[in-house]
Amino acid sequence: MARTTDTLVSMLQAQPVVPVIVVDDAGSAVPLARALVAGGLKAIEITLRTPPALDAIRAIAAEVPEAIVGAGTILNARQYREAEAAGSKFIVSPGMTQELLDASSKSDVPLLPGAATASEVMALVEEGYTMLKFFPAEQAGGAGYLKALSSPLAGVRFCPTGGVSAANAPDYLALPNVVCVGGSWVAPKNLVASGDWDAITGLSSEAATLGTGTISV
């Protein structure tokens, strides 16, 4: 587990913001990924909330080699296997189940499991996970809650996602237990729909300059 955790952290710590993308049209996936990478955001999470998501992951993995494409909203072992087969380099779940734990143990693709409470964090630490998704971040207590966890759970690092924006991202990134944040603001649906890739590159460039907290693995 330490090996896959190290791999995951090395992917995510290189940028302060991981774009969380809902793909409505697989045809937009490649130019969108290129726009994000051009702005400095190479690790990209494609959520499995829409039918084209797996096709989008396949296309990005095949045509944008400089991108590190991951799959989000993974809820079961079948989705884990499908995302891995499509070319995902990391897997993200909003929570954790025994089925996902088992799927992760059989895969070389690292898992970023979700947790929203201290008890959930402790349960995942017992399973060997020390890099977690804090979700839904704002609704679960925000930066203040994560700050409160930083002392009693000092060995755990987080990627807060859910309600994170350009306005509040710096509050999270200033925390010593935050590696990066996940957010959708770098690729608004209206810009994706209109194909304004230059604007998305601009938003990505701005996000890539946001400061990070202290990272210790």
Residue 91 phi/psi, 5-degree rounding, is -125, 140
Per DSSP, 55 falls in state H
Distance (Å, rounded) from C-alpha 160 to C-alpha 185? 14
Q: Which DSSP string corresponds to 73-128?
A: ---SHHHHHHHHHHT-SEEE-SS--HHHHHHHHT-SS-EE-EE-SHHHHHHHHHTT
Q: Are 210 and 170 in contact (CB under 8 A)?
A: yes
Which one from 42, 45, 84, 138 is the annotated catalytic residue?
Answer: 45
Structure-block tokens of residue 58 = 């396949």
Annotated active-site residue 63? The verdict is no
Burial class (CB in 10 A: 0-12, 13-18, 19+), 168: middle
Annotated active-site residue 45? The verdict is yes
The residue type of 205 is S
19: nearest Cα among 191, 197, 208, 214? 208
Which one from 42, 89, 133, 138 is the annotated catalytic residue?
Answer: 133
Q: Which residues are catalytic?
A: 45, 133
